[in-house]
Amino acid sequence: MIGSGEIVTNAFRQGLMVPAFNVPYLPMIEPVVRAVADEASFAFIAVARPEWTKFEAIGPAAVAEEFAKWDDPDHVRLHLDHVPVIDEDGLRVDFVPIFREAISVGYQSVMIDASRLDLDGNIQATRQVADMAHAAGIPCEAELGAILGHEAGPLPPYDELYESGMGFTDVAEAERFVREAGCDWLSVAIGSVHGAISGAAKDQKKIEARLNLDHLERLRQATGIPLVLHGGSSVKRDMLLAAVELGIAKVNVATEIRQAYESALRESGQVAAAQQAVYDRTVWLLRDYFAVSGTSKRLTTANENQAQ
């Protein structure tokens, strides 16, 4: 079976992308997998630490157990998203045991988020997790820069954030980071924001974010590895598709499908109705937003891709 690392590299080389769908509720896994297979696409099923500390994903082992019921290797892989060294509430996290657990229960890629540390601290933490992942034969994603939105309290005005470049990944730092940290993919900050996960804001419509494509091009040239866009929900579609051509090979989506699930569950009281809402929204994302229907064979066929 082709590994997650080669799949994302295939996407990077072909100017394609792999969506990663975050699942804060276990019943979301089945409809997402079904939608991806029905669209002949490929995606990651992902869970981040906030999805078991602030929602109902329970933990990495519970997600892996539910994923195993619906696993379709031609179309999906299991990814451990955002495990922070310092979390959205400013607290230190004992992150190493989380990675050990995830690797032991079969996650096929992992992400360490040490972006709230200084550059040296981020490199050190990422190298530690990358070494663990590589020893298990799986890739490691990292983050450099500040992709805001998970923190408690309101964000500054979006236009102010974007125009100032606040939190954008520094190009020179990215070059050094990739060279020293050992990560396989790098999540970069170029204008997207995370959906809120706290309080009433978690139900609000996300900001329509923009992407600084010139900055992305500089990051691609400096790093030479697949880049990742977090906060993929509600990014202007033309900018997102252009970003894929410029090196974004993986795009994380959480708010779009989480809110579909929660809204349908509130209105109907039925998990089956909420699952159908997730299925419908995932199909729309794959077909109409990301335009990745029918790409699974191109991504999962080894050694048949021309360098871009």
pLDDT of 306: 39
Of the chain, the percentage scoring pLDDT greater than 70 comes to 88
> Is residue 9 predicted with pLDDT exceeding 60?
yes
**Closest CA relative to residue 247, chosen from 229, 221, 220:** 220
* CATH class of the domain whose range is 4-296: alpha beta
Based on the residue annotation, tell me whether 89 is a catalytic residue of this protein.
no
Strand partners, 113: 84
Confidence of residue 205 (pLDDT cuts 50, 70, 90): low
pLDDT at 198 over 50: no
Of 71, 81, 94, 288, catalytic: 81
The residues spanned by each domain of the chain are: 4-296
| Listed ranges 61-65, 143-147, 210-214; the one with the highest mean pLDDT | 61-65
Percent of the chain whose predicted confidence (pLDDT) is above 90 = 80
User: Is residue 197 pLDDT above 60, yes or no?
Assistant: no
Q: Express each pLDDT in 67-89 by its tens digit.
A: 999 999 999 999 999 999 999 88
